[in-house]
Amino acid sequence: MSQPTDVETTGRYLVLLDDKSVAAGAREMNRVAGISAASTAESATRAELAAADGVIFQDLGVAVVNATPDQVQQLTRAAEAPGPIAVVEAERVVHAYTAPPATGTDEAAAVDESVFTWGLQAVGANISSATGKGVRVAVLDTGFTVAHPDFAGRAVITQSFITGETVDDAHGHGTHCIGSAAGPRKAASGGPGYGVAFEAEIYAGKVLSNRGSGTDSGILAGIEWAIANNCAVVSMSLGAAVRPGTPHSQIFEQAATRAMAKGTLIIAAAGNESNRPGKVAPVGHPANCPSILAVGAVDVNRAIAIFSCGTADTIGQVDIVGPGVDVYSSWNKEDGGLGMHKRIQGTSMATPHVAGVAALVAEKHNARGWELWARLSQAARRLGLPSTDVGAGLVQSP
């Protein structure tokens, strides 16, 4: 069994099924381990899902199941033999990526932010003719503050994957990320414009609770929802830290390649566990998967952020970077003199900048999937920094 080490888990398991015959995989789980899972393709009711041993995300070919140690052993044996069960992994607990507040002077003060945030200026969104119109962007996070005045009149599709919680964002992290990716160029508050793809169609998926935590299955449910809604871009500022040398998730890698095949690019934060220059932590889960675009963070001076994870070994790498220090965006409540806005930092903030630019590129070039990834990489601004820290460079708008 492929299983993460030194990672908080839920006690459930992810099972990768043969995408050519998911039904055969479901039958095999039942045959070898007596596990009965309900499929999302069958429009199962909540009661049916509750009665089942797990759920199968049909479009991804992944099952999430409750299993005893004996059942896990049977599934693992089946995965080691030829057949429709490919991989078994323990389900991880994931969190919204956060970084400590910046110390010292206000770094963004080095740039005039009276009209646009330094982040929009750094990625060239303020001078781009693209707006993201017609492109669907899914942000999987802590939800969204649906009553935020800056989004009045915007069509925002919402879905909560957290049991017992509405999509409304009591945390703030999700609202901040949505703001950077697709918020306004002219804020109702009169503050600077902060949204990259300000005319993109927003899909807000709540996969993290109001406390900022969630599970692999919640992320997978959000990814499947985004694919079903033909989202060109999925932005995920979340994950779990890993030790150097920890293998990436084969299940998330397959989910990402299957999403790509359907025209959906997944973009994820690299993580904030570094403390540069002394410590460079490896890219976290699930951004360390080869088919997920991993995003690091730079500051207003185009220097790598001290917290930004890097390419520490042969597993996982930073693919591109975005503005991630002292980032102004929407928030879920009044914050001092900033109204319903806040400045925070992290690779979480860099990721929606990249997702927003991806939406602009998707609109201008009608690019999807691997072509979209390639265009983002080719157009990135070289920074004269190691590729292990910044990948292709700073993302740039078309």
Catalytic residues: 141, 173, 348
Residue 47 has a CB neighbour count (10 Å cut-off) of 8
Cα atoms in the Cβ-side hemisphere of radius 13 Å centred on 161: 24
Residue 27 backbone dihedrals phi, psi, to 5 degrees:
-65, -40
CB 268 within 8 A of CB 356: no
Q: Does 277 sit behind a cis peptide bond, omega within 30 degrees of 0 on the bond before it?
A: yes
Residue 84, helix vs strand vs coil: coil
Q: What SS3 class is residue 390?
A: helix
CB 15 within 8 A of CB 29: yes
Q: Is 331 helix (H, G, I), strand (E, B) or coil?
A: coil
Residue 36 is which amino acid? S
Dihedral, 135, 181, 258, 272 alpha carbons, nearest 10: 170
Structural contact between residues 193 and 186, judged by C-beta atoms closer than 8 angstroms: yes
CA 376 – CA 397 distance, rounded (Å): 9
Nearest to 156 by CA among 178, 131, 187: 178
Contact 330, 148 (CB under 8 A): yes
How many Cα neighbours within 13 Å face the side chain of 16?
20
